[in-house]
Amino acid sequence: MAKPQPQPLVCVFLKLPPSHQSAQGLYEIAWNVFLPQLNRLNNAIETAQATHPVTEARKIWSEARASASRKMEELQSITITCSDIALGFLSFLHALRTGRRNSEAYHAFLDSTREAFDVAGIAQEAMLDFREDIRIVVGRIATLLSNDGKDISSFVTESSQSLLKLATGVEECNAILEEYREAIKEAQRQSLDEKDNPPSEEEFHMVQEKWQAYKLVAEPTLYNWPQLKDAVLGDEDYDGPAMSSNNLTGSTAPSISSKSHKIFFWRKLFRRIFRVFHRRESVR
């Protein structure tokens, strides 16, 4: 006779941490999607400049990369808040176990979650601005390059593909941030009074282990955001990522869904842009 399977432990009193993606996933998208596509756009612009030299185009693109680098700071801030709420909850657990300064640790944790929630919202807006800024700049550069009836169909094709991948990365990024905000709201429901539903020893140790694991993943020193920002800026000394996804927890980069209706909108937009330029060439 088969032995009954153990039932999964249900947390009655204590709240669980957010997904590890709130720290790790954002970093991977920045390295594996944003940076390669910005470099791809840079190469497309340089190639077009070889036959269609426009000084203003290079200046506009340089300013866009500087702005993009600053946007990465908002993602870096998320890693810091992840670490803060992990430390806050573990301090609360310690106070709960020792029975000392429970209220102080509890309210310090809630303060950290409120800040984390706000910072995540700011990061979401920054990602939308990042996507829109790059789209507008690429459009301006395309207009400059196409002056005097020059053929820039190759540039339009290459840049449209990069813009689509950037837009996809932004959507995935903001989905992670939204999940993080929802997890924070759930954590904020943590009660201070354990008299009604005191946690069992099993629950306490399981939750403590999960928050400790989350703290390790959210450790800010694991992530070299300054090097990423330099690379996004176009630093000539950049020689590759300081850390791959395998260096973090052995996971692969997060999958990026193509089912979002917003991504479908961007795909249609870029195809429309290409058709417009193609028709211009046909008329000439």
pLDDT by residue for the chain (284 residues), tens digit each? Answer: 455 444 454 556 899 999 999 999 999 999 999 999 999 999 999 999 888 888 899 999 999 999 999 999 999 999 999 999 999 999 999 998 887 778 899 999 999 999 999 999 999 999 999 999 999 999 999 999 998 778 899 999 999 999 999 999 999 999 999 999 999 999 999 988 766 577 888 999 999 999 999 999 999 999 999 999 999 998 644 445 544 444 443 333 333 333 333 443 444 444 444 444 444 444 44
Would 123 be classed as within a structural domain? yes
Would 76 be classed as within a structural domain? yes
Would 207 be classed as within a structural domain? yes
Query: What pLDDT score does 82 carry?
Result: 97
Would 250 be classed as within a structural domain? no
Would 247 be classed as within a structural domain? no
Residue 227: which domain range? 20-238+255-283
Would 63 be classed as within a structural domain? yes
Does residue 160 contact residue 271 with C-beta atoms inside 8 Å? Answer: yes
Q: What total number of domains does the chain contain?
A: 1
Would 260 be classed as within a structural domain? yes
Would 248 be classed as within a structural domain? no
pTM for this one? 0.80
